[in-house]
Structure formats: structure tokens, C-alpha cells
Amino acid sequence: MREALSSRPGGHPHGPPLVPKVDDIQQGYAHLSCERRPVRGTPVRLFTFPEGNTDASRTVVCLPGLGASGRSFAPMEPLTGALRLLLWTPPLRTPATHTPLLWNLAVLDHAEALLPGRFALLGSSYGSLLAMAYALAHPERVKALVLVSPVASVHRIRRLALTLSTLVRAPRPLAYLLAPTVARVLGGQRLPPEGRAEIVREARRLSPVELLRRLRDILATDLMPRLHELQVPTLVIQGGQDVLVPPRAARDVARHIPGARLALIRGASHLPYMSHPDAFNTLAGDFLRQHLH
């Protein structure tokens, strides 16, 4: 395992975890099935658990954050006995004719996506922005929402969003080297090395241009004034030590959605489903089972 985590010779086994090559998939993330589904002419990677639930009425579409793939939700596997988890990965490239947000909304709702008529959405960070926007545009299709480290308005996170947008403008080799540091900040101290490696490996597949376009979505979008329109059961899950989306931002989101419940996971950062899977799975699982009868 230590060899798999090292991206250069001589990595010290007890030092900071290094990063695998882009094609190296980490232990705990490699067993997922991957379907490449063409939707509107762009390939979407859809990960599923080989032995998972297949009941369409219990479908949960999981939307990852910036630079991550659906594979990052692999620690949610204990929920697959009761829920049908579809780990959705937005296209690595989106056409210049649309913003990434608008393109992904159209892809999710397209017949070629082959999603059931109604389903639950679980979105993390940028994925939460997509989940909320989709629920506002298509309320008839969404049974329940789980919003993780939610991004609804840039006002609470503008400084960090601008910092990230500056980083991705750096020369590609520099941005490539900075990826492990960014992953460590996002994941926090409790994120296992294989989880951090998975985030970095996937982030390096995304071009700086596409990453910058998605950051611009975050900077340009403010869903807060419309959140009161959501009439869907909603659970907001937030890491108590998230430095990118602070807890007060999550409280704002929960307060604006009628009936929404906020759950804080102490010690977790921006990726609680990867760093604190037991606590996260208990919260998300209980909520989703309740609303997907």
C-alpha cells in the first residue's frame, strides 16, 4: 500500500503520504463498477457497487465536489444494502456554449442519463450547488436532498474561492504540485492516505481551464434567495472543522430551506463521507431510508 501511494522513489513510509499516478486507483476505491454513459455527446462516468441494491425507487444520485469523481463516495458502501447508490461523475469537459453548472443540469435531466423518474440527490460542495439547482429546476423529480458542505452563495466563502481560482491560474506544473496540499486541507487530518490520494489522482485529470470555469460558477451563483422554494426533505451535513465552507455557511443554507435539518460532525473537514464515514453513513443513511420508502 505504501508503494502504491508513492509518486516518486524514496518516499519515506512514515512521512507525508505521496501521490500515485493518475491511473493508479487506491485500495478501497478500486472495487467499484464503472459505466461510461454518453449523455448529450459527453461521457459521464457512473460508478456503482457490484453487490448493491438495485431497487430504482431507492435511488440516490451522489454528486462529487470540484475535481473529484463519484468514486470518492466509496466509503458509503455500508448503505448499499438499503439504498441504490449511483455515484455520478460530471463530464471532465463541458462545452463553451454553456457554463458547467447549466450543462450538468441539462445532462442530469436528459433521457440518455437513464435515471429513474424520481430519486434522491446527495451533493458535496460544488455537487451540492448542482443538487440544489436541480431540485429548484425539477422539484417533481427529487424525493430528498442531502447537502454536504453546501455551497449556495459565495458570500461566505468568497475569499477562499478567489484564492483557489488564483491557484488554478498558476502554471500547470505548479498547480500539479500543489494538489496534495489542497487535498490535505480539504480532507483534514482524519482523511486516510488512500482517500487523499484518490482526491489528488482525480483532481489531476481535470484541466485547469475546466476547474476555473467551475469556480466561476461558484463565484457567479447565489441560490440563497431561492432556497425557500425548496419543498423537499433536506439534511445538511457539515464538518465542524471545514475551512473552505465554514459551519456558519451551512447554517445559512439550513435556515433558508423549509424544514431542513443541520447535522455537524465534530473533527471533520470538507469531506466527512471520506474522513468520518461511520458518523456520516449513520446520519445520511437514517435520513435517506426514512424518505425513500
Of 196, 192, 208, 211, nearest to 277 by C-alpha is: 192
The yes-or-no verdict on residue 233 having pLDDT over 90 is yes
- Supply the pLDDT for residue 7: 35
Greater confidence, 126 or 166?
A: 126
Residue 4 domain-assigned (yes or no): no
Task: Note the pLDDT tens digit of each residue in 56-103.
Answer: 999 999 999 988 999 999 999 999 999 999 999 999 899 999 999 999
Residue 5 domain-assigned (yes or no): no
- Supply the pLDDT for residue 26: 80
Q: Which three cell numbers stand for residue 194?
A: 488512500
For residues 208 and 95, the answer to whether their CB atoms sit within 8 Å is no
Domain count, the chain: 1
pLDDT band of residue 199 (cuts 50, 70, 90) is confident
Residue 20 domain-assigned (yes or no): no
- Supply the pLDDT for residue 228: 97
Alpha carbons 291 and 263: distance in angstroms, whole number: 17
Range of the domain at 256: 31-291
Task: Note the pLDDT tens digit of each residue in 110-141.
Answer: 999 999 999 999 999 999 999 999 999 999 99
CATH number where 213 lies: 3.40.50.1820
- Supply the pLDDT for residue 14: 40
- How many residues are recorded in the chain? 293
Q: Which three cell numbers stand for residue 160?
A: 477562499
Residue 22 domain-assigned (yes or no): no
Residue 17 domain-assigned (yes or no): no
Residue 9 domain-assigned (yes or no): no
Residue 229 domain-assigned (yes or no): yes
- Supply the pLDDT for residue 218: 86
Residue 187 domain-assigned (yes or no): yes
Task: Note the pLDDT tens digit of each residue in 255-282.
Answer: 999 999 999 999 999 999 999 999 999 9
Task: Note the pLDDT tens digit of each residue in 206-232.
Answer: 887 888 888 888 888 899 999 999 999
The yes-or-no verdict on residue 179 having pLDDT over 70 is no
- Supply the pLDDT for residue 243: 84
The yes-or-no verdict on residue 22 having pLDDT over 50 is yes
- Supply the pLDDT for residue 12: 36
- Supply the pLDDT for residue 13: 40
- Give the Cα-Cα-Cα angle 272, 277, 283 (nearest 5 degrees): 80
Strand partners, 131: none
